[in-house]
Amino acid sequence: MHIYEYLFTAIIIFAMLIASSTIVITISQPQTTITDKEQLKITAQKIMTQLTLDPGDPPDWGSYASITPSDLTTFGLAKYGNSSREAYFLDPDKVQRLDSANPLYIPPYIALNLLNLATSYGITLDIYPTLDVEVTKTSPTADTYAVSVTTNDIAFPIANANVSARIFYYNSTSRQIEKTNLLVDQTTIDGRKLFDFSTYFTGYTTELKVLSVTVDYYGIHIARTLSIGTGVAEAYLIGNNDIGNHLLLTQSHTLYNNQTSEITPRKMSWGYLIENVTSGLTQANDTMLDVDYVEPSATAVMAIMDSGATLLLASRDTVLSYSSIPGLVSSPFSYSLERTVTIGDSSYIIKLQIWRMSF
Amino acid sequence: MDVPLSHVIGTVAIIAIVIGATLAYTIITSYAEANVLKTQLTQIAENISLNLVETIALTNFGNVLTNETIMKTLNLPTDLANRAYFIQLITDGQGYYVQTQLVVRTDITATSPIPLNSTQTQLIIVTNSTGTLQVRQGDQGTIQYTPLIYGGRQNIVVWGWKENSTTTWAGIGVWTPPTGGT
């Protein structure tokens, strides 16, 4: 044999080694990739089960202003009941703590740690109503509002949805929160309905007013309370039960008339009756008020502050995005999972996106 | 017969290259195999972890007065490429994990976290004791609970038991059907 033949043999051996190694790795790669996706799916299901069916520990952690993120030992959003519980019913107090504007906000890294995910995974949790209910003012001068009901994926208009609407406003003469008549109607083919409240405000203007809208579409119930005046300030209600109820303020306000007005929609044969009840209110400190009693079905609590200059609104409306990477809308390598849940009495979709932070 | 020195060197070099290539191929295939096995172990661990979380949620929904053990039979592979593996519930003192490991190669292991980063909760996961639980309704029989089970066993279950309104126990075990059962 010549020296070239030895070299040629060596090259063939190396080529065989590289080819066979490449084949082995290539063959095993798809299985590993598919299994990685499957694992992400299982992890998403596990986290969703924990979030929607487990109340966390302490089980009623959302209801206590004194419970800080460091007091939590388990993270779950399910509503806790001593005697009975329902599946996929979330606690509005716990859900509201995922809102970054809430003074009792739970930072996502705490939630991830409590879920035992630490830095291995990233998550985004989106919570929004099953139907998109939008309210737009149709006239700059008159109190006319168009309520539109659409699906929240492709904005398909929902016709024949039963809509109840009523404005609650502060009357500076009586120094009370008063209300307009209840307007009830059905959406038309374009998913919209116009509600005209201008007759109630003829010769009278106030910027302390909110619009309460309740939509019922074949059992899907969505309640929204929206600020429609410039004098409305945001607050958070926690502890809708017998252990104490508080209004948390995002900035300092002074109590005016020591009472709240609670919006309570009630299902009737013809639609939803939106009423209000009153309860006592005392100032605990600059940023917290104690409410004597909150109706279990209350969707919003209002109070007059600052000598009648501010209407405080603590609404149970929930539309939020809770992400371990703030501002992230979607991750290309994530797995997404959705569940329909009930928060308060309204139907919501909870969407979990999960992705690996390390490979 | 005289053999030229260059032929001796060439032949030795070829033999060395063949041995080296064989070794390299073995290492590469072993690495690829370990990767696949680890992925499969992770999938088994994740599956057990998911079933455990679901069983715990179901147990917590139950009425404490029924005093009933809830269980779910797992459909797991008896081996992984003819290699035995075991399943273990472990804790690092802060959280709980499902760990799966090959019996003969303890370096190939996988863990799946149970979303519960605390041992100071109302849920107690059995990680260090064994015993027997009676299944009163449904399929009946008994559950031998233990934190460590070989994957090849039949009737591996995840179970949950609500002791009282504040304490729930959960873990893995082997279900023994009642006499005459399957």
Strands (E), B18-155: 69-73, 85-91, 96-102, 109-113, 123-125, 131-134, 142-145, 148-150
Contact between B13 and A6 using a beta-carbon 8 Å cutoff? yes
Average pLDDT over residues A268-290: 88
- The phi, psi pair for A137, rounded to 5°, reads -80, 125
pTM for the predicted model, two decimal places: 0.83
Integer Cα distance of A87 and A120 in angstroms: 29
Residue A157: the pLDDT is 93
Summarize pLDDT for A317-328 with one digit per residue, the tens: 888 889 888 766
Contacts of A114 in chain B (CB under 8 A): 115, 117-118
- In eight-state DSSP terms, residue B65 is G
Q: Could you tell me if B81 lies within 8 Å of chain A, comparing CB atoms? A: no
Contact between A31 and B36 using a beta-carbon 8 Å cutoff? yes
State the helix-helix crossing angle for B5-61 and A3-53, rounded to 10 degrees: 10
Contacts of B13 in chain A (CB under 8 A): 6, 10
Residue A330: the pLDDT is 65
Compare CB distances from A1 to B7, B113, B115 and report the shortest one's residue: B7
Whose CA is closest to B115, among A61, A339, A47, A110?
A47
Q: Could you tell me if A31 lies within 8 Å of chain B, comparing CB atoms? A: yes
Model confidence at A213, in pLDDT bands (50, 70, 90)? very high
The continuous run of DSSP H or E covering B158 comes out as strand B156-162
Pull the structure tokens for residue A44.
Answer: 């998403």
Summarize pLDDT for B99-135 with one digit per residue, the tens: 999 998 888 999 998 887 666 567 888 888 899 888 8
Distance of CA A138 to the CA centre of its chain: 27
| Residue that wins the pLDDT comparison between B110 and B81 | B110
Residue of A nearest to B49 (CA): A46
Residue A112 predicted with pLDDT over 80: yes
Q: Which A positions 58-117 lie with beta carbon below 8 A of chain B?
A: 59, 73-75, 82, 85, 87, 113-117
- The phi, psi pair for A22, rounded to 5°, reads -60, -40
Summarize pLDDT for A151-206 with one digit per residue, the tens: 988 889 999 999 999 999 998 888 889 999 999 999 999 999 999 998 888 777 78
Predicted complex ipTM exceeds 0.85: no
